[in-house]
Amino acid sequence: MKAVRTTVDMVAVFRMGEPPEPVKFRYYESGQPCTVHVDKVLDIRKVAYGNTRTYTYRCQSIVGRRERVYELKYIGSELRWELYKI
């Protein structure tokens, strides 16, 4: 996997007392929008740096007719999602 670290538009489910659950996201590749539905969350890691909580999700989906494994990050202090690795 290569590090991408690009901000994405995310649709997620937030439940009380649980980490957010990613559903689908959109990012831009070569100027073209690409929408990905999160098929399976393989692993969730929680990291806390001081007051900043970060969740890293290792996910699997079909992207462009290929099954891909990628990582998404939710940065709680900034309330943003990023495509970390693909």
Q: What is the mean pLDDT of residues 3-21?
A: 95
Three-state DSSP state, 49: strand
Three-state DSSP state, 73: strand
Confidence band of 84 (pLDDT split at 50, 70, 90): very high
**How far is 81 from 86, CA to CA, in rounded Å?**
14
Confidence band of 80 (pLDDT split at 50, 70, 90): very high
Is the pLDDT confidence value at 70 over 90?
Answer: yes
Confidence band of 1 (pLDDT split at 50, 70, 90): confident
Angstrom distances, CA of residue 81 to CA of 7, 65, 66, 72, 73: 6, 24, 23, 7, 6
The domains of the chain are located at 3-85
Confidence band of 62 (pLDDT split at 50, 70, 90): very high
Is the pLDDT confidence value at 29 over 90?
Answer: no
